[in-house]
């Protein structure tokens, strides 16, 4: 008996925990922060994991630049030497050595210039990541806004079809219409509910996408964002050549070409002569040999000129490799210019097409809405059949869905156009 009671208590405890987890998750979902597009973009830029990774790359490039600029020509060393005689320590000599070395081809300056360009590349890569994030974020946000509007429209459609079903049942009970009208109304209601479930799944998908872009911050668009946002109108086409020349992607490839040109010079500096000068001063000398040491023994200086004669072809093949990389970078620059131009043309045409589609869908929605009102009035007066009303309702629902989709396309395509021109909000 005791074990049975214990088992029941465990089951009750597990059930209580499941219920608590369910309600906590539901409450967390209900407390999602509703944000405007500007607020969503600010949160996404602060929380985005991909943007943080690119920012870390900028910090690494900055540290590399500092490291390249650190003094490599001058070095100071402190050394202590112990001399052994017949297995025993005989003397200690301690001194400091100052050294200066110079590559006559300017290798150090080339390394600093290469690191500086690499840092500028990292900054541009961060800018490009921002543009890509902006395009993805605007796509997720405005699709979520449109999905939310479509879901509210589906809710209204369900209410209207429920009222229509109620009216059909009442008329059937009064013997005014056949049972077939009730079945048609029930079918129309079931269709509206199925459409609602599908649109709800689509909305949750875009909500999840928006949340992921924001580093899993629980945000969602404002409920009335679709009605409040105005369709952006732009008549002037982009300055294609000007955009291409100043676009971050093209600027990044130009920097890669410049850095590869420096790398070619660096590869050639492998066989350049080197000059090194060193001076050593003995700080102390102890042991059996220290008594015989003179003042001249405490100082020494040395100058060396090194002229490499052969390195086994290493410099030759390094130069060939660097030149090949330079040719690749130049080809990629031309390819990137063409890609930016193509994206800009495509974004502009998509935007203009979306504007035209929006204007026509808006006009059609106004006409179909009026037609629906007339159909319902005629049905209430007994001048039209149920099929006419259901047909008008279906066409209105389709027109409203097309209108919502058209407005969303304008908003998304306009953001894409901004990103193609290298502009951020």
Read off the pLDDT of each residue in 4-32 and give the average, rounded to a whole number. Answer: 48
Is 410 in a helix, a strand, or coil?
A: helix
Per-residue pLDDT at 45 exceeds 60: yes
Is 422 in a helix, a strand, or coil?
A: coil
Cα(359)–Cα(352) distance, rounded to whole angstroms?
Answer: 11
Comma-separated ranges of CATH 2.20.200 domains in the chain = 73-103+273-307
Query: Per-residue confidence at 330, pLDDT binned at 50, 70, 90?
Result: very high
Cα(323)–Cα(222) distance, rounded to whole angstroms?
Answer: 54
Q: What is the DSSP pairing of strand 33-35 with strand 219-221?
A: parallel
pLDDT tens string 225-237: 999 999 999 999 9
pLDDT tens string 243-259: 999 999 999 999 999 99
Under DSSP, the state recorded for 269 is G
Read off the pLDDT of each residue in 189-202 and give the average, rounded to a whole number. Answer: 93
**Cβ(272)–Cβ(103) below 8 Å:** yes
**CATH 1.20.1600.10 given to domain 30-70+104-272+308-420:** yes
Q: What is the pLDDT of residue 177?
A: 83
**Better-predicted residue by pLDDT, 273 or 250:** 250
**Among candidate residues 144, 128, 348, the one with its CA nearest the CA of residue 237:** 348
Around Cβ 313, how many Cβ atoms within 10 Å? 9
Read off the pLDDT of each residue in 18-29 and give the average, rounded to a whole number. Answer: 44
pLDDT tens string 331-373: 999 999 999 999 999 999 999 999 999 999 999 999 999 998 8
**Better-predicted residue by pLDDT, 26 or 227:** 227
Read off the pLDDT of each residue in 153-174 and give the average, rounded to a whole number. Answer: 90
DSSP line for 13-35: HHHHHHHHHHHHHHHHHHTPEEE
Comma-separated ranges of CATH 1.20.1600.10 domains in the chain = 30-70+104-272+308-420
pLDDT tens string 274-320: 777 777 777 766 765 555 444 445 667 777 777 777 777 888 898 99
Cα(207)–Cα(411) distance, rounded to whole angstroms?
Answer: 17
Residues of the chain with pLDDT > 90, as a percent, come to 55
**Cβ(191)–Cβ(122) below 8 Å:** no
DSSP line for 214-253: TTS--EEE-TTHHHHPPPP---SPP-HHHHHHH-HHHHHH
Its CATH class, for the domain covering 73-103+273-307, is mainly beta
Work out the mean pLDDT of the chain and round it to a whole number.
84
Q: What is the pLDDT of residue 135?
A: 96
**Token pair listed for 419:** 């990103």
Write down how long the chain is: 425
pLDDT tens string 103-124: 666 778 888 899 999 999 999 9
Q: What is the pLDDT of residue 85?
A: 61
**Token pair listed for 16:** 């209580």
Read off the pLDDT of each residue in 119-144 and give the average, rounded to a whole number. Answer: 96
Q: What is the pLDDT of residue 230?
A: 93
**Among candidate residues 159, 198, 181, 178, the one with its CA nearest the CA of residue 390:** 181
**Among candidate residues 395, 402, 397, the one with its CA nearest the CA of residue 360:** 402
- Where residue 239 falls (left for φ over 0; alpha for ψ -120 to 50; beta otherwise) is beta
Query: Per-residue confidence at 22, pLDDT binned at 50, 70, 90?
Result: very low
The pTM (predicted TM-score) of the whole model is: 0.78
Cα(28)–Cα(19) distance, rounded to whole angstroms?
Answer: 14
């Amino acid at each position: 008996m005791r074990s049975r009671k214990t088992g029941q208590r465990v089951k009750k405890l597990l059930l209580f925990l499941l219920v608590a987890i369910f309600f906590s998750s539901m409450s967390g979902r209900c407390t999602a922060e509703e944000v405007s597009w500007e607020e969503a973009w600010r949160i996404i830029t602060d929380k985005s994991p991909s943007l943080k990774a690119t920012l870390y790359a900028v910090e690494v490039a900055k540290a590399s630049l500092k490291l390249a600029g650190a003094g490599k020509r001058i070095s100071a060393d402190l050394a202590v030497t112990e001399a052994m005689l017949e297995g025993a320590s005989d003397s200690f000599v301690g001194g400091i050595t100052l050294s200066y070395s110079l590559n006559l081809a300017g290798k150090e300056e080339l390394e600093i210039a290469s690191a500086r360009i690499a840092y500028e590349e990292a900054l541009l890569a961060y800018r490009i990541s921002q543009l890509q994030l902006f395009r993805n974020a605007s796509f997720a946000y405005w699709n979520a806004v449109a999905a939310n509007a479509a879901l509210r429209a589906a809710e209204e459609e369900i209410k209207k079809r429920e009222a229509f079903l109620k009216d059909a049942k009442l008329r059937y009970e009064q013997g005014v219409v056949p049972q077939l009208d009730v079945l048609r109304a029930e079918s129309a209601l079931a269709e509206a509910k199925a459409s609602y479930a599908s649109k709800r799944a689509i909305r949750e998908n875009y909500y999840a996408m928006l949340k992921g872009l924001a580093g899993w911050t629980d945000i969602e668009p404002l409920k009335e964002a679709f009605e409040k946002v105005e369709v952006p109108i732009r008549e002037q086409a982009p300055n294609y050549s000007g955009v291409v020349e100043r676009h971050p992607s093209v600027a990044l490839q130009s920097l890669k070409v410049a850095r590869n040109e420096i790398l070619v010079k660096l590869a050639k500096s492998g066989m350049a002569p080197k000059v090194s000068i060193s001076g050593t001063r003995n700080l102390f000398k102890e042991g059996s040999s220290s008594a015989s040491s003179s003042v001249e023994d405490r100082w020494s200086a040395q100058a060396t000129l090194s002229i490499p004669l052969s390195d086994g072809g290493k410099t030759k093949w390094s130069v060939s490799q660097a030149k090949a990389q330079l040719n690749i970078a130049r080809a990629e620059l031309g390819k990137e210019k063409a890609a930016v131009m193509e994206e800009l043309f495509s974004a502009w045409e998509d935007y203009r097409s979306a504007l035209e589609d929006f204007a026509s869908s808006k006009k059609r929605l106004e006409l179909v809405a009026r037609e629906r009102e007339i159909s319902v009035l005629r049905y209430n007066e007994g001048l039209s059949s149920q099929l006419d009303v259901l047909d008008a309702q279906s066409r209105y629902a389709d027109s409203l869905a097309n209108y919502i989709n058209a407005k969303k396309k304008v908003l998304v395509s306009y953001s894409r156009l901004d990103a193609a021109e290298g502009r951020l909000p």
